[in-house]
Amino acid sequence: MENLVQIALQNVNMAAILPSVILTCFGMGLLLISVFLPRGTTRHAVWISMIGLLVTGLFVYTGWGNPQYGFNDAVANDNYAAFFSMIFLFAAGLTILMSDDYLHREGYPVSEYYPLILFATAGAMWMASGTDMMTIFLGLEVMSISLYVLAGFFRGQVRSNEAGLKYFLLGAFSTGFLLYGMALIYGVTGSTKLTEIGIYLNAHASLLDNPMTLAGLVLLSIGFLFKIAVAPFHMWTPDVYEGAPTPIAAFMSAGPKAAAFAAFLRIMEYCFFSLKPEWTAMLWVLAVLTMVIGNVIAISQTNIKRMLAYSSIAHAGYALVGMVAANEIGYSGLLFYMLAYTFMNIGAFAVLTLAGKKGEDNLTLEGFSGFGFKRPYLGVAMTIFLFSLMGLPPSAGFSGKFFIFAGAVDAGYIWLAIIGVLNSAVSLYYYLRVMVYMYFRDPVEDYAWVTLPAAAVISIVIAILGVLYLGVIPGDVMELAKLAIF
Amino acid sequence: MISVYHYMTVSAILFALGTYGVLTRRNAIVIFMCIELMLNSVNLTFIALSSHLQSMDGQIFVMFVMVVAAAEAAVGLALMITFYRNRDSIDVDDMNLLKL
């Protein structure tokens, strides 16, 4: 018995999961503390969760360049996981900062909201650091279950109920496909460890065109592509983003999307490198489809949250181009783009939380008429984020797209890069239209002057700084991204 | 003699039935039951393969899947109750506020 314990402990290595464990502890501690405080107090929750994110970020930062492997190689806290963890922490931090005032305005000042964000972030970190199917599956579910609750958080609002229930039903449905894919791959290779699967498949070339392997690959991909919101698995995205609380829509479009990319890319690179021509061909088609569908449908949207949902589908398509390129600059461009997208998209959503009124019926193009003159600071912030989403220099969106398309050209996918650039041109139309309404229309809403809440302003300022930093000096972060990939 | 292929066939049929149910049924609880059927067919696949391959990984995976399914059921049923309170229905055709 003692021998068994020793063997088990040798392989554990808690350092590999330290950051996410710390984050989980903060989340659970926050749940406990909130029990003893009167309902409706949320300020402490903002502070504690921000401290939790900062401490976790510190541990992620010190773990850079010092990879830790634990739990029989089921977890690898390497640079790749650290880079993605930073993206999730930024996404969670910006989301939490913009949430407090918003929750009070919408009439749900409930402190359980913040621990759920922390748990979702911890789940995302497990996904990024998982090197075993089980770890990745558990991380995915911890993240998803927290998000089901968060999407349906406004329990008195039918729209939020509907968003939560739709996300739940479709998310659980896609989990079934993901698991069946994992089961088939396990059956083919006899292991759930990513590296062992990859070595086994590489050594047994006859397995590569075995229907069971290919079915497993496709089913597994469906599970992740659903979370990334790649066409044709994107149908849930606009409904859920529109119905969910705005900060949660912001978080979902950045954090969990990056997490699904992290796990998907690691699985494809570790397990299926022998099948690279097959899966890049598959993703080529999906990337084009996603970019076109996202951008074309976004044109006809009048609700800004819904428009941003379609734009997030299109941006998933751009990021997928980096994965199709499957070379150093493509992969590191994908990492860079997810970080850039976190800043610009969450920033845009943060402006929406401040622009909306209770119930958010005014978040339409008409409702934005004259917004730029009546709320000048928010107007400028929104302009910066929209420019970045369009991909105009010098913004984060431009450098991100530049790296990704450079990777695609490098790998010989000239047509893919051309389609991508044409799609960016299409996206100019619907982003610019928001600005036309903001600056060239007479205001229809009565804009009473309100003091902007400090926390949300901090969130917007951080997002602007991030967008400008990644746009003006992309080299530093790009170097880090190059160190982070395999 | 029942081989691993029989188990695989049964679980594939169960998975297909679950998928068919999700796509055709309109009651959210029945849809959720179909999703559970899919998860359980995956569990059957894992157990059969685990016994066939003489490796424990598959059985451990099944434990995790069951835990996750239980947590998902808790959250999912709670979401359905809140929806029912506001709409007096759990028909997915009534989830029609968020449209193009």
CATH of the domain at B24: 1.10.287.3510
pLDDT for B2 beyond 90: no
Tens-digit pLDDT profile for residues A76-105: 999 999 999 999 999 999 999 999 999 998
pLDDT the model gives residue A2 = 61
A354 within some domain = yes
CA count, 13 A, side-chain hemisphere, A11: 10
Contact A378, A434 (CB under 8 A): no
DSSP secondary structure, A278-308, as one string:
HHHHHHHHHHHHHHHHHHHHHHT--BHHHHH
In a domain? residue A226: no
CA A421 to chain centre: 22
Tell me how crowded residue A166 is: count the other CB atoms within 10 A of its CB: 25
**Cα distances (Å, whole numbers) of residue A73 to A13, A14, A61, A193:** 10, 12, 21, 8
- pLDDT score for A175: 94
* A216 inside domain: no
Q: Which residues contact A292 (CB under 8 A, 6 or more apart)?
A: A317, A419, A423
Q: Spell out which chain B residues touch chain A, with contact meaning CB-CB distance below 8 angstroms.
A: 8, 15, 18-19, 22, 28, 31-32, 35, 38-39, 41-42, 45-46, 49, 52-53, 55, 57-58, 60-61, 64-65, 68, 71-72, 75-76, 78-80, 82-83, 86-87, 92, 95, 97-100
Cβ of A187 within 8 Å of Cβ of B61? The answer is no
For residue A470, count CB atoms less than 10 angstroms from its CB and return exposed for 0-12, middle for 13-18, buried for 19 or more.
buried
- The sign of the CA dihedral A327, A328, A330, A332 is positive
Look at A165 and B95 and tell me if their CB atoms are within 8 Å: yes
Best of A135, A143, A165 to substitute, by most chain B Cβ atoms within 10 angstroms, is: A165
Q: Which domain holds residue A472?
A: 275-486
| Domain housing B70 | 4-98
What are B59-93's pLDDT values in tens digits?
999 999 999 999 999 999 999 999 999 988 888 88
Report chain B residues whose CB lies below 8 A from the CB of A302. Answer: none
DSSP for residue A209: G
Residue A89 lies in a domain: no
Query: What local confidence, expressed as pLDDT, does residue A449 receive?
Result: 65
pLDDT in tens, A146-164: 999 999 999 889 999 999 9
Would you say residue A282 lies in a domain?
Answer: yes
Distance CA A442, CA A192 (A): 60
Q: Is the Cα torsion angle A345, A418, A425, A361 positive or negative in sign?
A: negative
User: Is A175 a domain residue?
Assistant: no
- Residue B99 confidence (pLDDT): 67
B98·A238 Cβ contact <8 A: yes
Nearest CA in chain B to A299: B100
Interface of A with B (CB under 8 A): 133-134, 137-138, 141, 145, 148-149, 152, 155-159, 161-166, 168-169, 172-173, 175-176, 179-180, 182-184, 186-187, 190-192, 238-239, 242-243, 300
Interface predicted TM-score (ipTM) of this complex, two decimals: 0.96
Quote the tokens at residue A240.
């859920």
pTM of structure? 0.95
How far apart are the C-alpha atoms of A230 and A293, rounded to whole Å? Answer: 10
Residues of B in contact with A152 (CB under 8 A): 79, 82-83
Q: What is the pLDDT of residue A10?
A: 63
Residue A459 within any structural domain of the chain: yes
Give bridge partners of residue A69 from the DSSP assignment.
A76
Residue A107 belongs to some domain of the structure: no
Task: Calculate the average pLDDT of chain A.
Answer: 92
| Domain count along chain B | 1
Residues of chain A falling short of pLDDT 70: 1-10, 445-449
Give pLDDT tens digits for A440-453: 988 876 666 677 89
Q: How many domains does chain A have?
A: 1
